[in-house]
Amino acid sequence: MKQKKALICVPVCSASVEALTREVALAATGADMIELRLDCLTRSEFEVSAPAIKAAQETGVPLIVTLRSAEEGGQRELPFSERKTFWSTYGESLSPALLDLELDLVLRFADDPPPGWDWDRVICSHHNFRGVPAELESLYERMAATPARILKIAVQAHDAVDCLPLFALLERAGHAGRDLIAIAIGPSGIPTRVLGPAAGGFLTYGAMAPGRGTADGQLTARDLAELYRIQQIDRETLITGLLGFPVGHSVSPHIHNAAFASRKMNAVYLPFAVRDVADFIKRMVAPRTSELNWWLGGLSVTAPHKVAVMDQLDWIEPAAKEIGAVNTIVVAEQTLRGYNTDALAVLQPVIDRRGSLRDARCAVIGAGGVASAALWSLRNVGAHTTLFARHELKGQSLADKFGARFERLERNRWAGFDVIINATPLGTLGDLKDSTVATANQLQDAGLVYDLVYNPLETRLMREARVAGCEAIGGLSMLVLQAAEQFRLWTNEAAPLEVMQLAASRAFVD
């Protein structure tokens, strides 16, 4: 059976009729459907909303009209009586638009429908912003028992495994021949937004622009279409992704999806926001216990799971074992295999700049998984390395493991080091953006400063280094190089390195 086209519905939510009309026109240029969120209008604007509704109908783009209650995510208080009056008065005249009604109204109209009521145009919806309710199955059964043609269930996801009940409902609805929209809200729910249509979902929602979404975790329509290539995803698509928490600022989806697209591969790379790594591996990844019938090829692993994930794997390469961290999982022959591609990539950008590091005096700042990979690699190229960390016991143990010296991170001067590597998160976009492990005064007479932070492209540490007269490089090249090795492990093909590098750079411009 040929898979139906994935529908991307763009919600339009504005406080005024003028703005709503303008945004409907913009959405109509690329949307498969438009959701007209009338609950976003102020009360006074709502009372004169007829022109906006008419303008939306005249675009020719299929329309969903929504008047959401505040309890289920609406933008203002809308009592049951007010919603009931609106739909009773205007529901028929909105044809052929679909009408999104909460379950309470659907149950009332099932007993006493307004004149001319057409159940084929009704979406029966339910939203829960607290979590996945224990009674989700019985909720679905209540909704499926109504005359509404389309069902919509949206629940808050706190972990990627919270997507599982939604995928199970999509499978159930498919067997029953019911149209269902199943969305997990929040960053952990992104897999339902990208993979939902291929699993039988009626549609998915995509924001008109960044920051304009109507729910947490809602991707843009552009990203759904161009970054994730949602129209090409089907039940045979190779699934890969990023395992971590948080994962929202990662550019890895841009890098890997560009690589898949350039090679015309039926594959996609998704962010998986995971708190409980053991539960995620058991229920969604391990072939013998996974609750999903999908083709999972492998995962990138980032903080805070690079160490904890090792207990969940069937085999780990010797280098990753020695480093004590895994950043790549390959699913092969019913087993989970762990690798560390950071170790292969971490020094290459430095070697490209200054040549051999044999006998170079190198400082590594930090004591996490990336620091371990850097220490392992520096030992293997014959560098003289000192590890700096705040936690003496952890830092000394790590330094001893790789034959490095250890000093507490209380240094005022970094003169004398040929290479200084920041393997801490200080400087990362967000709360740490303005932080740095060293200032310009402390970096006088030091050599090359290498900040493994890649977002933002230029960190405060890099700026301080340049003021001090040091050469400075960021972590983006290392990110691309380790991703290229992941691509090879997952696909058994050489990675399109230039494509991946360009995609990484453009991710910051877009």
Contact, 444 vs 467, CB < 8 A?
no
Q: Rounded distance, CA 147 to CA 169, Å?
A: 18
The vertex-153 CA angle with 236 and 202, nearest 5°, equals 45
Q: Do domains 242-340+494-509 and 344-474 have the same CATH topology?
A: yes
Dump the DSSP string for 369-394: HHHHHHHHHHHHTT-EEEEEES-HHH
* pLDDT of res. 4: 72
User: What are the φ/ψ torsions at residue 341 (nearest 5 degrees)?
Assistant: -85, -10
The predicted structure's pLDDT at residue 413: 87
Query: Domain spanning 8-235 has what CATH number?
Result: 3.20.20.70
SS3 of 430, please? coil
Provide the pLDDT for residue 509. Answer: 66
| Predicted structure pTM score | 0.93
Identify the pLDDT of residue 410: 81
pLDDT of residue 3: 60
Give the domain ranges of the chain. 8-235, 242-340+494-509, 344-474
Of 421, 442, 415, 411, nearest in space to 357 by CA: 421
Asked if 21 and 53 count as a contact pair (C-beta separation under 8 A), the reply is: no
Active site (annotated) includes residue 306: yes
Task: Catalytic residue, from 54, 264, 306, 394: name it.
Answer: 306
Task: Count the alpha carbons within 13 Å of 344 in the hemisphere toward its beta carbon.
Answer: 18
| Placement of tokens 């999509």 in the chain | 170
Residue 356 CB-density burial (10 A; 0-12 exposed, 13-18 middle, 19+ buried) = exposed
Cα torsion at 128, 132, 135, 140 (round to 10°)?
70
Q: In CATH, which of 3.20.20.70, 3.20.20.120, 2.40.10.410, 3.40.50.720 is domain 344-474?
A: 3.40.50.720
Q: Domain spanning 242-340+494-509 has what CATH number?
A: 3.40.50.10860
Helices 80-90, 103-111: axis angle to 10 degrees equals 60
Average pLDDT, the chain: 95
Residue 1, pLDDT score: 41
CB 285 within 8 A of CB 299: yes
Residues of the chain falling short of pLDDT 70: 1-3, 509-510
3-state class of 66 per DSSP? Answer: strand
